[in-house]
Amino acid sequence: MFPKATCFAMWQQWMCYDSINKITPMKDFDPIDVEHLPKGNMLLSELKNLMKGFENEVTLLSLWKHSMTYT
């Protein structure tokens, strides 16, 4: 069932580079990156739509940063 993480955890993985596991921010994923997962492309699409809503709200509040990894 999607989503399986909290909003904060999803936002963090969406925006931030994981230096420990060396994983790019999920916002940079392409369908080929999730093709090994069952329904991976559909889940990525759902996640992108959800995060777009977050991005719109943060932009409206003038809190948007392109990269949350670096301050």
Domain presence at residue 42:
yes
56: containing domain: 7-60
* Residue pLDDT, tens place only, 27-60: 999 999 999 989 999 989 988 998 898 889 888 9
Confidence (pLDDT) at 15: 84
- The structure's pTM equals 0.69
Q: Which residues contact 12 (CB under 8 A, 6 or more apart)?
A: 68
Domain count across the chain: 1
Domain presence at residue 25:
yes
CA distance 11 to 54: 8
